Amino acid sequence: MTGVPAGWPREVPPADTDGWVERATAWLLDQAPAEYRTYPLLRRQPVVLGWIVARHVDGLLDTSRGAYRVARQELGPAGQQAVTDTLELLEAEGARLLALQRSVRLVADALAGQRYVPRL
């Protein structure tokens, strides 16, 4: 997609195009717990939604990193294969969450009025 920074979600059109706020709101809600859809404030105030979802993803990433740190110790009794498989899963999830964190922050920043200016 042109005109957007690296990491911008494909499902969200560039900022300031027709319907982009509605699509950004829908995308952010897809990244959040289902319960977030029950709060009318989050649909009325996309900036608040972006802020809250960014913090939610930060928490998920912190939790994933914490699990990685203690997996060997806490899962050791389950056997080496369980530990190895878990560490691989947590590495993949950490990479996914890191990319999601960037995407959410880009959309949240755009909803708050920041605009991407490409560098030459």
Q: What is the pLDDT of residue 24?
A: 98
Q: Answer whether 0.75 is exceeded by the pTM.
A: yes
Q: b/e string for 37-74 if b means 16 or more Cβ within 10 A?
A: eeeeebeeebebbbbbbbebbeebbeebeebbeebeee
Mark the ranges of the chain whose per-residue pLDDT is less than 50.
none
- How large a percentage of the chain has pLDDT more than 90? 92
Q: What is the pLDDT of residue 2?
A: 60
Q: What is the pLDDT of residue 116?
A: 84
Using alpha carbons only, give the angle 99, 85, 54 rounded to the nearest 5 degrees: 25
Q: Where are the domains of the chain?
A: 20-111
User: Who contacts 116 (Cβ-Cβ below 8 Å, separation ≥6)?
Assistant: 3, 4, 5, 8, 15, 106, 110
